[in-house]
Amino acid sequence: MTKALVLEGVDAWYGAAQVLFGLSLRVAPGEVVALLGRNGAGKTTTLRAIMGLVPRRRGRIEYGGVDLTGLPTHRIARLGIGYVPEDRRILATLTVRENLEVGRQPPRPGAPVWSVSRLFDLFPSLASMADRSAGGMSGGEQQMLAIARTLMGNPSLLLLDEPSEGLAPLVVEELARTLSKLAGEGLSVLLAEQNVHFARRLAGRAAIVEKGRVQVEGTMEAIVADEGLRRRYLAV
Query: Could you tell me the smallest distance in angstroms from the CB atom of residue 182 to ligand ATP?
Result: 22
Query: Of 2, 8, 18, 40, which lies in the binding site for ligand ATP, with binding defined by CB under 6 A?
Result: 40
Query: Could you tell me the smallest distance in angstroms from the CB atom of residue 192 to ligand ATP?
Result: 6
CA-nearest of 106, 120, 128, 54 to 85 is: 54
Total interface residues for ligand ATP by CB under 6 A? 11
Cα–Cα distance, 219 to 203 (Å, whole number): 8
Q: Which amino acid is at 187?
A: L
Strand order, beta sheet including 81-84: 81-84, 157-161, 188-193, 32-36, 205-210, 213-219
Binding mask 128-147 for ligand ATP (x = CB under 6 A): --------------------
Spatial CB neighbours of 173, under 8 Å, sequence gap ≥ 6: none
Query: Of 2, 14, 101, 185, which lies in the binding site for ligand ATP, with binding defined by CB under 6 A?
Result: 14
Query: Of 33, 45, 146, 149, which lies in the binding site for ligand ATP, with binding defined by CB under 6 A?
Result: 45
Question: Chain-centre distance of CA 81, in angstroms?
Answer: 9
Query: Of 10, 34, 37, 201, which lies in the binding site for ligand ATP, with binding defined by CB under 6 A?
Result: 37
Query: Could you tell me the smallest distance in angstroms from the CB atom of residue 51 to ligand ATP?
Result: 13
Closer Cβ to ligand ATP, 174 or 210, answer by number: 210
Should residue 164 be labelled a site residue for ligand ATP when binding is judged by CB under 6 A?
no
Closer Cβ to ligand ATP, 16 or 184, answer by number: 16
Should residue 16 be labelled a site residue for ligand ATP when binding is judged by CB under 6 A?
no
Cα–Cα distance, 98 to 105 (Å, whole number): 14
Cα–Cα distance, 88 to 93 (Å, whole number): 14
Closer Cβ to ligand ATP, 41 or 90, answer by number: 41
Cα–Cα distance, 4 to 171 (Å, whole number): 30
Query: Of 6, 23, 41, 151, which lies in the binding site for ligand ATP, with binding defined by CB under 6 A?
Result: 41
Should residue 103 be labelled a site residue for ligand ATP when binding is judged by CB under 6 A?
no
Query: Of 5, 19, 171, 172, which lies in the binding site for ligand ATP, with binding defined by CB under 6 A?
Result: 19
Looking at the chain, how many residues does it have? 236
Maximum separation of any 2 CA atoms in the chain, in Å: 49
Instruction: State the burial class of residue 89 (Cβ atoms within 10 Å of its Cβ: 0-12, 13-18, 19+).
Output: middle
Should residue 44 be labelled a site residue for ligand ATP when binding is judged by CB under 6 A?
yes
Which residues pair with residue 8 across a beta bridge? 60
State the residues that interact with ligand ATP by CB under 6 A: 14, 17, 19, 37, 39-45
